[in-house]
Structure 1
Amino acid sequence: MFVRPLFTARKPLSQQQPMLKSAVRMIRTFKQEEQPRLRINSLAPNFTAQTTQGKLNFHDYLGDSWGVLFSHPADFTPVCTTELGAFAQLKPEFEKRNVKLIGLSAEEVDKHQKWIKDIEEISSLDKFAFPIVGDADREVAFLYDMVDEEGFKNLSKGVVATIRSVYVIDPAKKVRLIITYPASVGRNSSEVLRVIDALQKGDAKGVVTPINWQPGEDVIIPPTVSDADAKKKFGDFTTVKPYLRYTKA
């Protein structure tokens, strides 16, 4: 039986490299025991990758800002197209909060550039203005533990539907929020903004926020703060239960 060789000596190295890269991808083995375990307050893993705005070091890109990293399994997918457009429309609101956006999709950057044209058209954007990481090798998806059990089995090949995570990262590079969505459910960009408002309010004032909290509404004094200290720090407050006290933010 004749077996066609993968490469021939007659091809120059420059033509062999894309094939070599593809071959390496096919044999990449991801092991669960080697995967980082991200939790709230874990240090956000750093990485360097090609993006739609050039090569980027993640921590350097964030600098002293907050960050939102959100991922997608593939380009030209319907739900993800609407999500990237929505985040791009809200970019000025994120900037007001000192937050940088960065997307990720498990395909090559060249394809991202073509996809961006559709995103701009569908969401009526003049210009899509934040980077999208090219993660065709799924290295960042692995680093950030983005997939479910079935997806992990396919991480080396094919589309993995659950590369659909959101990470809110603070200026100390700590992970403050992790949400992973199924393929069928679109994200809520306004909720990501609300969470950032709540986290920043809590960090600045030493408070926590109740269910469905929105900026301007009352906040909760943590039970670890005594009534006497709460009076000094917050002034007036309302006691509903000894452990549930509301005050103005």
Structure 2
Amino acid sequence: MSESTVQTLPRLNEPAPAFKARTTHGEKSLADYKGKWLILFSHPADFTPVCTTEFMAFAKAADTFKAMNCELLGLSIDSLFSHLAWTRNIQEKFGVTIPFPIIEDIKMEVASAYGMVHPGAADTQAVRATFFIDPNGILRAMVYYPMSNGRSIPEFIRLLQAMQTSDKNAVATPEGWTPGCDVIVPPPKTDADAAKRASEGYKTVDWYFSTKSL
């Protein structure tokens, strides 16, 4: 593979690639979402069954995301007219209105910038990629799914809740964490801090493993 065809993938905790594109809700850019969380997600194609189930699930959870100061933005390498026809079809056949924009990306500009096209899966379709971008425009999480399997929207809600909790309280969260569960206190960074950790009032198993409730 020549240097010119190597795809540069975005990286966590760095600025998300800027974009400006036509969508089903008019022109949108990354800058439009400053001050809010953004979940940017790609799908292989319009009028496909797995993608249809995902879009309906995102639509039904849109108010939950909005209450968490998070907007949704879809993308596929399809035309604007295909997007419009598909969303109208979903409303007609399934009774679900898609309330968020979908990017037209015929030239694959946004898909390429975000590493959504994987030649091993398809040269002209985006894989099921999901990107969490924070209110400062920083890429905080990336999740990739295979073409054959739909994403879990409840897991994305849980992950966003966990990241927002970590940001607000300077803590980490354990496997499967949900609101109300204990959080992980960052481990001490010096020998002196490690020696006094057991006396700091946390639920301490050992110097490196302490939890607390919020």
Structure-2-length-normalised TM-score: 0.89
Tell me the distance in 2 between the aligned counterparts of 1:138 and 1:47. 12
Q: Does 1:93 find its partner at 2:64? A: yes
Which aligned pairs between 1:117-156 and structure 2 lie closer than 5 A? 117-121=88-92, 123-125=94-96, 127-151=97-121, 154-155=123-124
Contact 2:188–2:197 (CA under 8 A) maintained in structure 1: no
Aligned length: 210
Tell me the distance in 1 between the aligned counterparts of 2:203 and 2:64. 32
Q: Aligned in 2, Cα 1:93/1:228: closer, same or farther, shift over 3 Å?
A: farther
Which aligned pairs between 1:49-68 and structure 2 lie closer than 5 A? 49-60=21-32, 62-68=33-39
Q: How big is the shift at 1:186?
A: 0.5
Tell me the distance in 2 between the aligned counterparts of 1:117 and 1:211. 39
Tell me the distance in 2 between the aligned counterparts of 1:194 and 1:119. 26
Which aligned pairs between 1:68-83 and structure 2 lie closer than 5 A? 68-83=39-54
Secondary structure, counterpart of 1:150 in structure 2: coil
Equivalent of 2:165 in 201, 219, 224: 201
Tell me the distance in 1 between the aligned counterparts of 2:158 and 2:115. 24
- Identity rate, percent: 38
Q: Which amino acid in the other structure matches residue 147 of structure 2?
A: A
| Structure with larger Rg | 1
Tell me the distance in 1 between the aligned counterparts of 2:150 and 2:46. 15
- Unmatched runs of 5 consecutive residues or more in structure 2: none
Tell me the distance in 1 between the aligned counterparts of 2:162 and 2:67. 14
Tell me the distance in 2 between the aligned counterparts of 1:199 and 1:121. 36
Q: Which residue in 2 is equivalent to 1:164?
A: 128
Q: How big is the shift at 1:123?
A: 4.8
Q: Which amino acid in the other structure matches residue 145 of structure 2?
A: Y
Give the alignment's Cα RMSD to 1 decimal.
Answer: 2.4
Q: Aligned in 2, Cα 1:141/1:216: closer, same or farther, shift over 3 Å?
A: same
Contact 1:84–1:119 (CA under 8 A) maintained in structure 2: no
Q: Which residue in 2 is equivalent to 1:248?
A: 213
Deviations 1:161-215 (A, max 9, x none): x521000000111111101111111000011111110000000001000010001
Tell me the distance in 2 between the aligned counterparts of 1:143 and 1:149. 15
Contact 2:188–2:207 (CA under 8 A) maintained in structure 1: no
Structure-1-length-normalised TM-score: 0.77
Tell me the distance in 2 between the aligned counterparts of 1:58 and 1:79. 27
Q: Which residue in 2 is equivalent to 1:23?
A: none
Which aligned pairs between 1:24-43 and structure 2 lie closer than 5 A? 31-33=4-6, 35-43=7-15
Contact 1:82–1:123 (CA under 8 A) maintained in structure 2: no
Contact 2:38–2:133 (CA under 8 A) maintained in structure 1: yes
Q: Aligned in 2, Cα 1:93/1:230: closer, same or farther, shift over 3 Å?
A: farther
- Unmatched runs of 5 consecutive residues or more in structure 1: 1-29
Q: How big is the shift at 1:229?
A: 9.0
Q: Which amino acid in the other structure matches residue 209 of structure 2?
A: L
Which aligned pairs between 1:223-242 and structure 2 lie closer than 5 A? 223-224=187-188, 226=193, 236-242=201-207
Q: Which residue in 2 is equivalent to 1:106?
A: 77
Contact 1:86–1:189 (CA under 8 A) maintained in structure 2: yes
